[in-house]
Structure 1
Amino acid sequence: MNILGISALYHDSAAALCCEGEILAAVQEERFTRKKADSSIPINAIQYCLAQMKGELDAVIYYDNPLLTLDRWLQNCIAVSPDSDKIIQKSFESIYGQKIWIHELLKEAIGDLGKKGNLLVCEHHMSHAASAFYPSPFEDAAILTLDGVGEWATSTIGLGKGKEITILEQMNYPNSLGLLYSAITYFCGFKVNSGEYKLMGLAPYGNPIYYNKIMENLISMNEDGSFQLNTEYFSFMKDVVMTGEAFEELFEIKRRQPESIITKEYMDIAASIQKVTEEIILKMARYAKKLTSSKNLTLAGGTALNCVANGKLLKEKIFENIWVQPAAGDAGGALGAALVGTYQYFGLDRKVDKIDSQKGSYLGPDYKNDEIKKYLDKNTICYHYMDSKKLFDYTAKALVDDKVIGIFNGKMEFGPRALGARSIIANPMSEKMQSKLNLKIKFRESFRPFAPAVLEEKVQEYFEIDVASPYMLFTAPVVNKLRKRKKNNLETELINYDNNMLGIINQIRSTIPAVTHVDYSARIQTVSKKTNPFFHQIITEFQKLTGCGMVVNTSFNVRGEPIVCTPHDAFKCFMRTDMDILVLENFVLIKEEQPEFEEKEDWRSMYELD
């Protein structure tokens, strides 16, 4: 039984293939087209998935019901009429020219729609719920989905038991935590649908002094976590932007222009909306516990990528166990749709894996040594072949010498996080590594933190966390014994450094400064020998030399670029940046040995800043 799930035409299109309930493949279209968050029909992702298939395709299922989406769009236009011109101009072609014809577009892309012959559809938040529950290690669980909007729903609480999922409660548009967070993201000068994680990273620099203003003016919250937005302050219902003059009057400050200096006011706004978000999610989780009586919680939807809020959920111990879908956004909807088709439509029995059935989220393309050698030789690229033992030794020693290393190994990750297959790694004990990686490698804002990839069996030696975090979806504090200084008043420090965050970032807060955020937290990836033995061994060898059982791990890309997919993508990124070494499976490339790298156009113009 082969089921192909598709997400497309919103943002971050993807395809996923399930066979007899096993997740065989899942990949985002952006990795092939090199267009960040590509929303087009995922032709390349579909082709990859179908190439992994054995036997015939049984059915194709889409992650959203376009007729319900049309209903919401029409009612939105009527509600804001006569001020609906801009929203009509923005979305008319997308709705009437593409989304309601999704069955025809997919049939054209695939060739046919499987033995079923017609396209199956799954409601958006059921796709999210399925992506959260079915791959989880739980026989039963409460399910919490949170995002901007799908058809009408913006958040749901559900219950999963065996192969059944029941939606118990639903919050509808325009009352949306995802849209609220995105509105603040936009107001603080970041890009909607990609800059939300920047807002989360900025929050610890501020104080939540606008919390009361948000609660008294923008939102009316209930004890169960549901809420109503005061839509008079928002523009998204009738405009192509999220906020307007009403927001500026409320916060008594103009919207920050993208790429401009980030002043203390925006840090405080970020801190305030993060506090509101955490409060809503905690209330929803407590209500979900009351409704379901389950000891387990699963989460999906774009807002579930807020790893700070997830960390608070862990700390509160509302549930004994929590599992978050690593591709929690729209891309993961493709996987959820395929699983809905498997268990709900075709009724297959569900088998629960005690770890999970996500396979470490290593679900994309891989390249063998012979393919890589052929590429290197064809392009006259200088390389060294090393057996595994020599490679691990060499890589660990290079990390000790503060070299920055690109890792390209095994199947590519599904979801927004690099987990050691397409990663840039470095020494977490280096005092200058965070600013070096941000400014010389990633070419991104200096305030953004980096994650530690830590040996699963050693995580409690470094962080206050008592569970595995394989998908980098929980934050936790650095343990006290590793901290080097007390937490100072950031407002005073910003004044001392003339609003330059680099001065604060470069302060040494712990013995692992490259992964210690300004509030002493870290977004943790625990690395298991079972799911990624290659990455685990690199960290193990580094530990033997240094006593430190972790490395810095950041995605293998530059700002605005999707994570690298092919050896060619990896080589280009390596040569465009100040990376020192590139590891392509068993091949090692050293920057100084490479010939001059020339491109016909400035690569920075190829990627839209995120």
Structure 2
Amino acid sequence: MIIVGISAYYHDSAVALIRDGEIIAAAQEERFTRKKHDAAFPHQALSYCLQEAHIDATQIDHVAFYDKPFLKFERLLETYLAFAPKGFSSFRLALPVWLREKLFLKSLLAKELKKFSSSVVWEDKLLFGEHHQSHAASAFYPSPFEEAAVLTLDGVGEWATSSVAIGRGKSLEIFKEIHFPHSLGLLYSAFTYHLGFKVNSGEYKVMGLAPYGEPRFVDTILKHLIDVKEDGSFSLDMHYFDYCAGLTMTNQAFSRLFDLAPRTAEQALQQVHMDMAASLQAVTEIVVLKLAAAIAAETGMKNLCLAGGVALNCVANGKLFKQGSFERIWVQPAAGDAGGALGAALAAYHGYLGHERAACTSYDRMHGSYLGPAFAQASIEQALRDAGAQFSVLEEADLIDQCAQDMAQGRALGWFQGRMEFGPRALGGRSILGDARSPSMQSTLNLKVKFRESFRPFAPAVLREDVQDWFEYDADSPYMLMVAEVHQDKRITVPESEKALFGIDKLKVARSQIPAVTHVDYSARIQTVTADTNPRYHQLISRFKSLTGCPVIVNTSFNVRGEPIVNTPEEAFKCFMGTDIERLAIGNCYLKKEEQDPKLRISYENAFELD
């Protein structure tokens, strides 16, 4: 049985395809259109998934959409009535789109699907799941657990902003929800907006900025903005927010509370911005930890699954792991709305159609989240020749040895291997790699390769068998969704004179033997790498370890600021030629920057807006 899941029309459109319950392919539309967070119907992602499954559209049994538009429209109407006449301007802008498209989504989806096959009666194949049901399904069904509690936290779906479910076998039942406008995700987005970053894309920047600040506004937030109960349930004081009725996330009352106007995107970050980020992150952790403790006590479950945009907050996840309320935690790597496509398909197969789950024979059922396109060696070589690239073709052992030596010598390496990742993180399929021991690698990658803010941290990729020797963590973290501290014996004592530094100045101080991946609070967003999931990537890090004694490298996504992660060999070569990446490995093709035609260099630095 073939089921296709689709998320679209809001942000991060995506498609997932499952066959008899097994995940065959999944991809975000942005990777094909090159429009970051593309919300349009995912034509190209669907074409890819059909191609990967070796089927045509007539063989699809069901198409599952990730939320219910009528319930969303009900929320829009009720919210307007609750705030009328204040919300008329935002309501007036939203209503035409709903009446033209979103309210009649079934016919709109059928119209788009007819472009794949006009002979299919698509209306008869369409299924609609609730937003948080899709999130919960994306978390539980691919997990390795036979039973688990499932916590979903995001901005808002139809009405729900948070939900708790119990999964057992093929059964998944939501039994608690928090409803709009009370939302931990929207609280985080409100601060994201006020701090000058883009809502629905810049929240992770706020998380990365937090360690530079002091959480001096925690009491202010808890007293005025969010009322948190002992069980983690919460409500927001809407007096300070404008997202229900206005066109912005926060209002003048919010600005007065912090004595701070909203920051513009290019305005310099000040200490107060860092302190607000630190305070918000602390409050987020309070809510998540209280929720988890209460869920564990109430359900008696030993396992927890997480999804929804807030589940991408790897700092909170790391605190949750240390708290120990659950023995095991599994986070959906595509925890945001893109993952809703996968959840919708799985909910249809197991929940609606009642099919049993197959036994889990590996770490989980996600295939390492390597669910996107791969390219044959011959097609890679042809693409590079067509682009005018100069390259050599190496045997695998020679390629791995050369790339490991490049990193050991301080070079930035573009690494394009196998299938593209599903979700926001590059996991060794479409990555830029470097030496974690280099004190200059973090700023070099940020400023000369990614063209982004210097404060942004990078993740360490570490051999799973060595993780406990380098970090205060001894578990799997294949999806870069857990933060832990660098091991005590790998840290460097910070001189007294430099402890007094504030804000971004802290970045200049080396804090460990792997400074390129050590944040200012000694934390790191860990990716553990195993030979069974990504053997070539594991071999590369193993060879680097044999050369240097260090099993840790820098891993960041293969793209520049504002651009989606590269998908094709052509895009990888273009990014290579537009940045200071010095070496590139695509399949078995190996490229040196100095051997390329200088005329092929492009200027990426101002090609994309702030993301």
- Give the Å deviation of 1:105: 2.4
| Residue matched to 2:564 | 562
Task: Number of aligned residue pairs: give it.
Answer: 603
Which residue pairs with 1:128 in the alignment? 135
Q: Deviations over 1:31-82 (max 9, x none)?
A: 0010110111111111111112355110001000000000000111111111
Q: Deviations over 1:544-593 (max 9, x none)?
A: 00000011000000010000000111111111100001111100111111
Shift of 1:116: 7.6
Greater shift in the superposed pair: 63-72 or 279-288: 279-288
**1:207 maps to which residue?**
214
Query: Judging changes above 3 Å, is the alpha-carbon distance between structure 1 residues 67 and 488 closer, same or farther for their aligned structure 2 residues?
Result: farther
- 1:292 is aligned to 2:299: yes
Relative distance call for 1:116 and 1:346 in structure 2 (3 A) is farther
1:1-42 deviation line (CA, Å, top 9, x unaligned): 000000001110000000001000000000001011011111
Identity of aligned residues (%): 51
* Equivalent pair of 2:404/2:540 in contact (CA under 8 Å): yes
Aligned counterparts, 1:539-578, within 5 A: 539-578=541-580
- Preserved CA contact (<8 Å) 2:110 2:122: no
Compared CA separation, residues 452 and 570, structure 1 to 2 (3 A): same
Aligned residue identity for 2:427 = L
Structure-1 residue corresponding to 2:474: 466
**Of 458-467 and 288-297, the range deviating more from structure 2:** 288-297
The Cα shift of 1:379 comes to 2.7
The correspondence of residues 278-427 of structure 1 with structure 2, limited to 5 A, is 278-353=285-360, 354-427=362-435
Contact 1:136/1:352 (CA < 8 Å) preserved in 2? no
Partner letter of residue 95 of structure 1? W
2:509 corresponds to: 507
Distance 2:174 2:296 in 1: 14
In 1, distance between residues paired with 2:497 and 2:106? 56
Report the AA paired with residue 423 of structure 2: G
- Give the aligned partner of residue 50 of structure 2: 50
SS class of match (2:431): strand
Letter of the aligned partner of 1:548 in structure 2? C
- RMSD between aligned residues: 1.6
Q: Does 1:15 align with 2:15?
A: yes
- Map 1:439-518; keep pairs closer than 5 Å: 439-486=447-494, 492-494=500-502, 501=504, 503-518=505-520
C-alpha distance in 1, partners of 2:281/2:130? 28
Deviations 1:179-199 (A, max 9, x none): 000001111111111111010
Q: Could you tell me how far 1:290 is from its partner in structure 2?
A: 2.3
1:135-154 alignment to 2 at 5 Å?
Answer: 135-154=142-161
- Aligned partners of 1:125 and 1:539: how far apart in 2? 38
CA–CA distance in structure 1, aligned partners of residues 387 and 214 of structure 2: 52
Alpha carbons of 1:97 and 1:489: their partners in 2 closer, same or farther (altered >3 Å)?
A: farther
Q: Is the 8 A contact 1:35 1:607 kept in 2?
A: no
User: In 2 relative to 1, CA 603–430 (structure 1 residues): closer, same or farther, beyond 3 Å?
Assistant: closer
- Partner letter of residue 7 of structure 2? S
Is 1:432–1:506's contact at 8 Å kept on the other side of the alignment?
Answer: no
Report if aligned partners of 2:470, 2:486 keep a CA contact under 8 Å in 1: yes
In structure 2, the residue matched to 1:94 is: 97
Asked whether the 8 Å contact 2:135–2:307 carries over to 1, the reply is yes
- Output the amino acid matched with 1:39: A
1:607–1:555 distance in 2 versus 1, CA, 3 Å? same
What letter corresponds to residue 18 of structure 2 in structure 1?
C
SS for the counterpart of 2:372 is coil
Asked if structure 2 preserves the Cα contact closer than 8 Å seen for 1:452 and 1:525, the reply is: yes
Measure, in 1, the Cα distance between the counterparts of 2:238 and 2:352.
Answer: 38
Counterpart code for 2:240: Y
Could you tell me which runs of 5 or more consecutive residues in structure 1 were left unpaired when the two chains were aligned: none
Query: Can you list the C-alpha shifts for 1:207-244, whole angstroms capped at 9, x where unaligned?
Result: 11100000110111111111110001001111121012
Compared with structure 1, are the counterparts of its residues 605 and 437 closer, same or farther at alpha carbon in structure 2 (3 Å cutoff)? closer
- Tell me which residue corresponds to 1:608: 609
Alpha-carbon distance between aligned partners in 2 of 1:466 and 1:78, rounded to the nearest angstrom: 52
Change over 3 Å in CA distance of 1:193–1:378 after alignment to 2: same
- Write the deviation string for residues 141-187 of structure 1: whole angstroms up to 9, x where unpaired: 00000000000000001100000001010000000000000001111
Q: How many Å apart are 1:279 and its aligned residue?
A: 0.5
Q: In the alignment, which of 84, 88, 92 is matched to residue 85 of structure 1?
A: 88
Distance 2:571 2:359 in 1: 36
Contact 2:293-2:325 within 8 A present in 1 as well: yes
Larger mean CA deviation between 122-131 and 246-255 belongs to: 246-255
Q: Shift of residue 287 of structure 1?
A: 1.7
CA distance in 2, matches of 1:431, 1:489: 19
SS at match of 1:26: strand
Matched residue of 2:156: which SS? strand
Q: TM-score, normalised by structure 1?
A: 0.96
Note the C-alpha offset of 1:489. 9.7
Is this contact kept in 2: 1:58–1:115, CA < 8 A? no
1:249 aligns with 2:256: yes
- The letter of the residue matching 1:4 is V
- Counterpart amino acid of 2:161? T
Alpha-carbon deviation of 1:102?
2.0
Of 289-298 and 123-132, deviating more is 289-298
Q: CA deviation at 1:599?
A: 7.9
Structure 2 Cα separation of the partners of residues 574 and 406 of structure 1: 7
> 1:457-511 CA distances to partner (integer Å, 9 max, x unpaired)?
11001001121100000000001101011497988312xxxx6x2x421211100
Which runs of 5 or more residues in structure 2 are unaligned? none
SS of alignment partner, residue 452 of structure 2: coil
CA contact (8 A) 1:478 1:521 kept: yes
Q: Is 2:204 the partner of 1:197?
A: yes
Whole-Å Cα distance in 2 between the matches of residues 211 and 352 of structure 1?
A: 45
SS in 2 for 1:340: helix
Mapped partners of 1:333, 1:93: distance in 2 = 25
Structure 1 residues 370-379 or 393-402, which shifts more? 370-379
Distance in 1 of aligned mates of 2:163 and 2:90: 26
Report the equivalent of 1:530: 532
Displacement of 1:604:
5.1
> Which of the residues 67, 72, 75 maps onto 1:69?
72
- Report the CA distance shift for 1:175/1:232 in structure 2 as closer, same or farther (over 3 A): same
Residue type of the partner of 1:381?
A
Q: Please state whether the residue corresponding to 2:357 is helix, strand or coil.
A: coil
Worse-matched range after superposition: 292-301 or 281-290: 281-290
Distance in 2, matches of 1:66 and 1:400, equals 52
